[in-house]
Amino acid sequence: MNRIIGRADLLPLLLVTLLATLACFLFLNRGPLYYDEAIYAQVAKEITQTGDWITLHWNGRPWFHKPPLYLWSTALLFRVFGPSELLARFTSALAGVGCVALTYLIAKRVANNTTAIVAALILLSSALFTVNARQGMTDVLMTLFTLLAVYAYLSTGPERVRWIVTGLACALAVLTKGAAGLLAPMIVVVSLVWDRRWRELTSPSFWQGLIVFLVLAGSWHFLLFAMHGRSFLSAYLFKHVIERASADLHQYRYGYEFYFEALSHFVWPWVLLMPFAVAAAVRRRGSKIVFVNAVLPLLLFTLAQTKFSWYIVPIVPALAILTAQFLCAMMMRVRERYRPLIWLTVLLFAIVGSVEV
């Protein structure tokens, strides 16, 4: 992808990356590991103890709940530095920094530098994103690879490179969170059709990217099936994919409004602007992939029966970009003397949101 980062982007990108590093790594080792964090850390620890990097184990037994990518990264850190709460969360925090950088670059690609800076600020002051970036879980890493796929899709570089990077990013999303990682290729394909880029569906470059995706994403899954057969399928596919989608495994009985309530609590006060931003995006010309990234996962997770607030972390960067576009479009429409009021609103919202972070 030619000129991924232009010279004009370097200073603001460095500044938002520095801010993201502070937000994601600050107090990273504060507090004990929570339930899922503790499980993932133990699985990573047992990788270093057993030397088995293919079949994951928890308390000595095969563990087929999640794919291995996040656990591998944590196991590598444990092997070099020894287990700790900080290192159990390190990959997620680093992915959080990458998400902010990619949010800036995507917003710059679809809009301009001002929109990119505002989008990064919105993302960093959204508790749903930043708090989860400090948790040793898989959602923020999957979000990083989803954003990488979006950025590759939007790139103006050589077609072959774009599609290979897209396929690689989608595969890594699947190896991070299994079926949920399929959201990345779904977002790309839906956007490709909506943007009427029909020719690319039959191009050799698209098929090369598809092969990269299938081979890389399928490798570990086929290997585990070959080694464990029905026991792997029963736990990994039927219990943790099909049953989670069709039944509330934890019997919390959350309704269809659950994720809207999560957004109202954990993306406050930006959520006040987001409905207008999404509506404006429908009418906006140009690529639709950011809109699809915001809406498609929300729709699918709303329909699924098992619900947790962190499932929708992947939509927060896209919502941040749409909201930044909406705010910057308002600035262009109002008289110049009123523009400081909009900037003041952005600043106040960022401060209020950061309190929750």
Return the pLDDT at 351.
Answer: 81
Is the pLDDT assigned to residue 338 strictly greater than 90? no
Return the pLDDT at 8.
Answer: 65
- Rounded alpha-carbon distances, angstroms, from residue 8 to 5, 152, 314, 327: 8, 20, 27, 22
Is the pLDDT assigned to residue 245 strictly greater than 80? no
pLDDT tens profile 3-46: 555 666 688 889 999 999 999 998 888 788 888 999 999 999 99
Burial of 251 (0-12, 13-18, 19+ CB in 10 A): exposed
Return the pLDDT at 87.
Answer: 96
Q: Which residues pair with 61 in a beta bridge?
A: 58
Q: Is there a contact between 286 and 110 (Cβ–Cβ < 8 Å)? A: yes
Return the pLDDT at 312.
Answer: 95
* Confidence grade of residue 252 (pLDDT, cut at 50, 70, 90): low
What is the token pair recorded at 259? 């994720």
Return the pLDDT at 352.
Answer: 78
Return the pLDDT at 35.
Answer: 84
Q: Which residues pair with 62 in a beta bridge?
A: 57
* Confidence grade of residue 332 (pLDDT, cut at 50, 70, 90): confident
Q: What is the C-alpha separation between 133 and 278, in angstroms, rounded?
A: 24
Dihedral sign (CA 9, 285, 263, 187): negative
Is the pLDDT assigned to residue 90 strictly greater than 90? yes
Q: Which residues pair with 58 in a beta bridge?
A: 61
Q: Give me the chain's average pLDDT, please.
A: 89
More confident residue, 179 or 348: 179
Is the entire prediction scored with pTM above 0.75? yes
* Confidence grade of residue 344 (pLDDT, cut at 50, 70, 90): confident
pLDDT tens profile 148-193: 999 999 988 888 999 999 999 999 999 999 999 999 999 999 999 9
Q: What is the C-alpha separation between 157 and 61, in angstroms, rounded?
A: 46
Return the pLDDT at 249.
Answer: 60
- Rounded alpha-carbon distances, angstroms, from residue 125 to 56, 132, 202, 260, 351: 35, 12, 41, 18, 7
Taking residues 319-331, report their average pLDDT: 92
| Amino acid found at 42 | Q
